Amino acid sequence: MTTTTTTTPDVTVTVIVYNDAARLPRAVASLRAQTHANIEIIISDDHSTDDTPTVARQLEAQDSRIRYLRLPENSGGCSAPRNRAIEIARAPYLMFLDSDDELPPRAVELLLAAHREREVDFAMGACQRLRVDTGRRTTWMPHLFAERRTLDDIASDTELLFWPLSTNRMYTRDFLNRHNLRFPEGVHYEDQLFSIQAFCLAKAFTIIPDPVYVWHIEPFAAAESATISNQRHKISNVQDRIRVHRMIDDFLEKSGHAGLREAKDFKFLKHDFRLYAGDLPYRDAEWLAAFADIMNPYLDTLSPGAYARLPRPERVVLELLRDGRTADAQLAARGLSHGVAPRQITTDASGVPYWGDSVPTDDRARRELDVSDLELDTRPFPSAQFRHEITELTRGPGATLTLSIRTYDPGLRLPIGPQRARLVLSPGRRRMAVPFRLDPVRPGLFEGTVHLDLATAPIPLQGFEGVRHPLVVLNQQGLSHSGLLLAPLDFPTATARVDYHSGATPHQVTVEPEGRNPGRLQIRWHPVGVTASVIRPVIRKIARPRVRRAAKLVASVLR
């Protein structure tokens, strides 16, 4: 059915697209389903080379509210297609949508109501992140959208500087034109500059708690279709991010908002740099050298107050990188956000502990590598920091593994002598605990060997589909401590079929390094056989316990 309108649209929503013919109809359908129907839809095509032009023209023919704009050549980014659409938009209010995302049905209605309630330069609402692989929806940074509020100045809530998106907002055309506010062309991360400029230039803006944007997250997308944020392995990605932040700094200085610089610098360290920091253990020496060459000159321009606001583990990684100690930075990065201790600390004559095997020689390094606030020697045992690393992994017959484990105890929390330990794994609801012994090598260092037979894991009869990471459990005076088990990042993946002695569904079991974040030992289970393909889906859908037990009985008979 064709929808027609003869009035001036209230809102123009621009859908930018490039080589995305498959998902474009979904994005446009979310606009056609808006509860506020008096809108203009501009499909702004960055000179696609797939079937996007054909699909876009078909959509244009179905609804008179849709206009198709095709750029004469590819710009390589999001800015140009958005800017060209701003030039031809007919409505007094403007919004932007990416072709792989959607707007909730009431998005336009809710944001337009916020504008009509009070005169503001833009209104913004919450963003839902939808995991394409699992279907799970979460609200991104929900604390920023906890309540409805109107702000006259970004300085009243500098945490909003952490919000980088331009697409969850409705702007007045007058605001954008009055300040000649456009997206920077020729560089990625354009949203970050545009977003901060909008925050700083607006006389007032309203935040509503309602979701107004659905961001589709595809964590396992192919490299060529991954989002810009998921292309951090490219040095050009680092260059673009630094270039945009230098543009932001220049804007803050020239616009009279230099007072925001420390808050903005903290945001860069806590968010932008932190994204790269988590990837450092997986980069080669050539990449690390190029990264340091780009990143370090910019880090030197940031305010000391921004560094002081960071957790100590993040400050350590930053200092090691700035000091050219890239291998040490990789080592330290494996403990970020996970309470993993350094391998070693060194204490100076006054008793101050420093990260690493030597006392720093300059003031900045002493300030940044001082790990006193980690309280390695005094914090309660359940939250103590140890470092458990696999030094050797040997695959045996079937699904057996032999792990050589080295435990670092820089705070000297463990008593002298051998330590009882357990390797704990919980596929499903039941726990598998394999005891082993950690023998002292020297103060603060223990080594042990554990033999793991995955065929003895307590798998539910109907099977288990998922990933688990073994933990090393230590006990002291009735208190228990669980710690991550870090894996060698280069050991080959091993896969075996396991037929469980308990009669549980057969599984394909894969042992591998985690491949991201700290790089834990990772074990994946995948049910196989008739039970997995026929009975298990039925069991998962059955809610009543009695029927569920009957289904499990049938599964065991079929097996």
CATH classification of the domain holding 389: 2.60.40
- CB 476 within 8 Å of CB 467: no
**Average pLDDT of every residue of the chain:** 91
Residues 151 and 237 in one domain: no
Asked if 470 and 424 count as a contact pair (C-beta separation under 8 A), the reply is yes
Q: What is the mean pLDDT of residues 21-33?
A: 98
Per the domain annotation, does 191 fall within a domain?
no
CATH of the domain at 95: 3.90.550.10
DSSP reduced 3-state for 252: helix
Sorting pLDDT into bands at 50, 70 and 90, what band is 552? very low
Residues 462-482 have a mean pLDDT of: 94
135 shares a domain with 24: yes
- The answer to whether residues 163 and 24 belong to one domain is yes
367 belongs to a structural domain:
yes
Bridge partners (DSSP) of residue 494 are: 511
The pLDDT of residue 98 is 97
Same domain, 216 and 277: no
Instruction: Give the pair of three-digit tokens for residue 237.
Output: 């990605």
Regarding whether 239 and 214 lie in a shared domain, the answer is no
Q: pLDDT-derived band of residue 550, with 50, 70 and 90 as boundaries?
A: very low
Interval 431-445 mean pLDDT: 96
270-279 pLDDT per residue, tens = 999 999 999 9
| Domain co-membership, 519 together with 420 | yes
Tell me the CA distances in angstroms from 385 to 5, 281, 403, one per residue in order: 65, 20, 21
pLDDT band at 190, cuts 50/70/90? very high
pLDDT above 70: residue 554: no
In a domain, 389, yes or no: yes
How sure is the predictor about 231, in pLDDT bands with cuts at 50, 70 and 90? confident
Instruction: Answer yes or no: is 550 within a domain.
Output: no
Q: How confident is the model at residue 229 (pLDDT cuts 50, 70, 90)?
A: low
Query: Do both 410 and 361 map to the same domain?
Result: no
> Which residue is associated with the tokens 């100076």?
348
In terms of residue numbers, what domain contains 160? 11-177+205-220
| Per-residue pLDDT tens digits for 128-168 | 999 988 889 999 999 999 999 999 999 999 999 999 999 99
Out of 151, 186, 220, pick the residue that ends a domain.
220
110's CB contacts (< 8 A; 6+ apart) are 125, 208, 210, 212
Residue 281 domain flag? yes
> 150 and 156 in contact (C-beta within 8 Å)?
no
CA dihedral 437, 490, 338, 375 (to 10 degrees): 60
In the predicted model, what is the mean pLDDT of residues 417-425? 96
What tens digit of pLDDT does each residue of 489-528 get? 999 999 999 988 767 789 999 999 998 889 999 999 999 9
Q: In total, how many domains does the chain have?
A: 3
Residues above pLDDT 70, as percent of the chain: 91
Q: Is residue 4, in this structure, part of any structural domain at all? A: no
Q: How far is CA 511 from CA 101, 395, 504, in A?
A: 35, 10, 19
Q: Is residue 498 a contact partner of residue 454, using CB atoms and an 8 Å limit? A: yes
Q: Are residues 343 and 425 in the same domain?
A: no
Determine the distance from the C-alpha atom of residue 66 to the mean position of all C-alpha atoms in its chain, rounded to a whole number: 34
| Tokens matching residue 426 | 């919980």
pLDDT at residue 228 greater than cutoff 60: no
Same domain, 362 and 400: no
Asked whether residue 360 falls in the same domain as residue 453, the answer is no
Instruction: Based on the fold, state whether residues 335 and 274 are members of the same structural domain.
Output: yes
Note whether residue 263 is domain-resident: yes
Average pLDDT, stretch 529-554? 50
Average pLDDT of span 44-49 = 97
Structural contact between residues 238 and 295, judged by C-beta atoms closer than 8 angstroms: yes
Q: How confident is the model at residue 207 (pLDDT cuts 50, 70, 90)?
A: very high
Spatial separation of the C-alpha atoms in residues 493 and 476, rounded to whole Å = 35
Is residue 36's pLDDT more than 60?
yes
Check whether residue 254 and residue 211 sit in a common domain. no
